[in-house]
Amino acid sequence: MTDKTLLRALKGETLPVPPIWMMRQAGRYLPEYRATRAQAGDFLSLCYNSELAAEVTLQPIRRYGFDAAIMFADILLVPQALGADLWFETGEGPRLSTITDAAGLAKLKGRDDIHDHLAPIYQTLRILKAELPKETTLIGFAGAPWTVATYMIAGRGTKDQGPAHTLMQADRATFSALIDLLTESTIEYLSQQVLAGAEVIKLFDSWAGSLKGTDFDDFALAPAKKIITELKARHPGLPVIAFPREAGPRYAGFAKATGADCVALDNSVSADWAAANVQSSGCVQGNLDPRHMVTGGEDLVRETRRIVEAFSKGPHIFNLGHGITPDADPENVALMIETVRAGK
């Protein structure tokens, strides 16, 4: 039996203290991260500098002793590897060249042509595999096809993913072809991550909640199932965490439908509901509201205890319901971890 608690939870074990890590745990809320990013020059340079990317991945492990480290990278490196232009506007976020028709799609590279561009990411994982404490699980990740497609079609993040929905309705064939390319490319990318040392894979579908009905089935559920099925065929025993954020009632049954070992939950669903309807099928991850990392205090302690108690009868990985924000207080992270590990 492994001594890595996160892997034990993913295998379905109910532990007296849930393993804990935090989405975006290597990030702008930490002064040491900001210093390393300044050394790199800019965000993309940090992603592609394997030594510095490994360093910022290790920083929260050294500071807090999380049970898992998630490699530092970005979900939009895959479209860049496929040939899209990618840059970051200071204070505003990512920008990409847009794919809005079949002609634009035809200009992209194939799934087998991405690895030279992504080689630094694989090297980051190799460094982390060698340097992480033996009890710390190494997580690799990618964006799910739908979420990545929304950025590629709009050229930026949008509140309602409107441009992607518009293309989906106007030219479903082209939209589906883009999803298929991203699905195949994500399989290749994640498979290489496993070969480089990732022990767990997480699939981030940050905008899954804007898909409804058959669109959710076709463009959130089906691609996840294909990715997970193929990864497990290539890498038997590989655990996968799926995060169809804001899926609401569609969280129930998602693990069974896709083959995921764990479903990560956002904080828009209650822990009690999720324990009854999602954890009944296996491991869940989540789901403290990230605002508590800003406000702290007794509310943080109370909510952390409540979530731990709600999920205490089944396999659970403690995490936030979304990524930690740059205005979070590092001391509140320490308080959260202390509360989880202290028990009731």
Which residues form the catalytic set? 24, 28, 37, 74, 151
Packing angle, helices 145-154 and 172-196, rounded to 10: 120
CA distances from 154 to 100, 166, 221, 273, 291 (A): 8, 10, 22, 34, 28
E strands along 170-326, which residues?
200-205, 240-244, 262-264, 283-288, 316-320
d(CA 157, CA 161) in angstroms, rounded, equals: 8
Instruction: Give me the count of residues in the chain.
Output: 344
Say how many Å lie between the first and final Cα of the chain, rounded.
26
The one-letter amino acid code at 267 reads: N
Written as six digits, the tokens of 273 are: 């509901």
